[in-house]
């Protein structure tokens, strides 16, 4: 969460002895809220910094232990992943609560019935979150921590994509489109430009690219990086670089897209009707 960025930069410096020279950061709409998705307001990076200050040696040992555990987890997941001929991945690995803060595991891409169940659950979860959403007035200050001295990093920011099943709630909930636009304007003002993937396009509209509407399959992540760094062959309509020169036009187009979502049918709505 952006509120953690200043402390994370301090932790990085204390453990490595220098600040990062390049940062790729995914900004999501939830990150501009005053609370986490589970309602927590506390800065979760504070205890980590305290642990580091109290006993740097133990902290470093725990870091090494976590890295080794992550390597084992990655190898296990990799062994369970298959790639279909069309390039869409699936797996029988169940990522449970706690992974990226998710409250439900990501269903295998071929498990359609479970996918619909998770989709409905997340839709109503998002609906409640958006109803009580409150934009963080410190958001711009928090994300500025990545570019303020003594940090002199090259920052590549992007707005993470989201399936249209839950994106339509931004249009249906009063005030959320304004918050969405404010988040992008704040990011552009701080970084000079930001890649936006969270709008209606061929990727966000196609449920086959998603395990559920909040988490995509690996192919989408590869396309995000391809678009940012000018490599590979991502879908032509996936990713727009937003700057002060085109932000008004872009947000006007996205607002029209979002307002039209509740009355439109796409891959997500057809899936949920099956």
- What are 82-138's pLDDT values in tens digits? 444 333 343 433 444 344 434 344 555 567 888 898 889 999 999 999 999 999 999
β-pair type (154-159, 22-27): parallel
167 CB-near residues (< 8 Å, 6+ apart):
198, 199, 200, 204, 213, 258, 261
Domain coverage including residue 127: 2-273
Mean pLDDT of 240-251: 98
Closest CA to 109 of 85, 94, 95, 90: 90
Neighbours of 34 (CB within 10 A): 14
Mean pLDDT of 240-248: 98
Residue pair 58/51 in contact by the 8 Å Cβ criterion: yes
**How far is it, in rounded angstroms, from Cα 145 to Cα 34?**
17
Number of domains in the chain: 1
- What are 206-222's pLDDT values in tens digits? 999 998 898 898 899 99
pTM, two decimals, is 0.79
């Amino acid at each position: 969460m952006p509120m953690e960025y200043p402390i994370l930069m301090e932790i990085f410096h204390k453990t490595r002895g220098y600040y990062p020279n390049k940062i790729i950061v995914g900004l999501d709409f939830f990150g501009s809220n005053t609370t986490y998705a589970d309602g927590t307001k506390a800065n979760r990076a504070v205890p980590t910094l305290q642990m580091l200050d109290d006993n740097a040696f133990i902290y470093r040992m725990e870091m090494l232990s976590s890295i080794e555990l992550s390597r084992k987890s990655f190898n296990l997941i990799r062994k369970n992943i298959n790639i279909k001929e069309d390039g869409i991945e699936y797996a029988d690995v169940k990522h449970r609560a706690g992974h990226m803060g998710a409250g439900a595991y990501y269903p295998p891409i071929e498990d359609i019935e479970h996918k619909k169940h998770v989709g409905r659950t997340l839709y109503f979860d998002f609906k409640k979150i958006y109803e009580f959403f409150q934009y963080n007035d410190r958001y711009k200050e928090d994300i500025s921590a990545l570019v303020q001295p003594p940090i002199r990093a090259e920052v590549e920011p992007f707005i993470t994509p989201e399936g249209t099943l839950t994106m339509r709630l931004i249009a249906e909930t009063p005030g959320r489109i304004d918050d969405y636009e404010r988040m992008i304007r704040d990011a552009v003002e701080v970084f000079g430009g930001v890649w936006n993937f969270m709008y209606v396009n061929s990727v966000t509209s196609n449920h086959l690219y998603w395990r559920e509407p909040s988490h995509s399959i690996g192919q989408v992540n590869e396309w995000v990086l391809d678009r940012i760094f000018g490599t590979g062959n991502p879908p032509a309509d996936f990713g727009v670089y937003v700057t002060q020169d085109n932000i008004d036009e872009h947000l006007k187009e996205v607002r029209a897209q979002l307002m039209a979502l509740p009355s439109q049918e796409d891959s997500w709505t057809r899936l949920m009707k099956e």
